[in-house]
Amino acid sequence: MTAGIIDGTAVSKQLLAETAARAAAFTEKAGRAPCLATVLVGHDPASETYVKMKRNRSRKNGITSKAVELPDTTTTEELVKVITDLSEDPEVDGILLQHPVPSQIDERAAFEAIAPGKDVDGVTMYSFSAMAFDLPGFHSCTPAGIMRLLKAYDVELSGKHAVVVGRSPILGKPVGMLLLNENATVTYCHSRTTDLADQVAQADVIVAAVGRPELIKGEWIKPGAVVIDAGYNPGNVGDVERQAAAEKASLITPVPGGVGPMTIAMLLEQTVRAAEASLA
């Protein structure tokens, strides 16, 4: 068996085209484009690159980007004030706080300053609760992208055993909640899991999200399983031993070109959705 490729690049292009059309319709109706505010604290090169990419992608899809750049000496109180002001600005539809932030800042406090209706990155406790309870709200972007990919490839989740390797608050935990909402039986694995290989071997769907290169070995994969590799490590290496896993899986995401393109596509789609809600 050779696994089919889950092409995140192709799925994200389709989603972005739909999002751009919705942004244009909103602009015509509202007299302004949807607006995503990006908040960058400090001068971390990787974060600067990510934010620049998000701003460029926003512009290409009819979304205005409001850039807020703060020094690395910014305090929690100062950052919360900036985010609160953006939350109260009627011209801003979505807020993205690029993380990580400098160590002196209480990141959770900063996230919680984002109004739920503008949390288009799905980072607040409100958004997590909405995901867990299957209520309307914004989803964490990478988990939301993963669910879109599974849907695009007609992966049946009801009654299936999904194993999530990783428990971060913006990836592992929420994707497990979203899988549970689709009636999958979900197992979380993490750094204290003592039988990782045995757990993975039982999975119909595997989501690897730990940031450790090739942690998930191909020999662990159940024949016919669907493998979602949400990890990205130096050298374009994912969290799954891809070549060996592809020999046993039915579907697998590449790294890069799998989950990654979906994250920013979901960010922009949710920004437009937030803008549309402002007219309701």
Instruction: Give the active site residues.
Output: 54, 98, 121
**159 phi, psi to nearest 5 deg:** 80, -5
Q: How far is Cα 253 from Cα 237, in angstroms, rounded to an integer?
A: 12
Please, which contacts does 49-56 make with residues 24 or more away whose CB atoms are closer than 8 Å?
Answer: 50/98, 51/96, 51/98, 53/264, 54/96, 54/264, 54/267
- Number of residues written out for the chain: 280
Q: Under the phi-then-psi rule, with left for phi > 0, alpha for psi from -120 to 50, and beta for the rest, what region is 235?
A: left
Q: Rg of the Cα trace of the chain?
A: 19
For residue 42 the two structure tokens come to 């400090």
Q: How far is Cα 45 from Cα 255, in angstroms, rounded to an integer?
A: 22
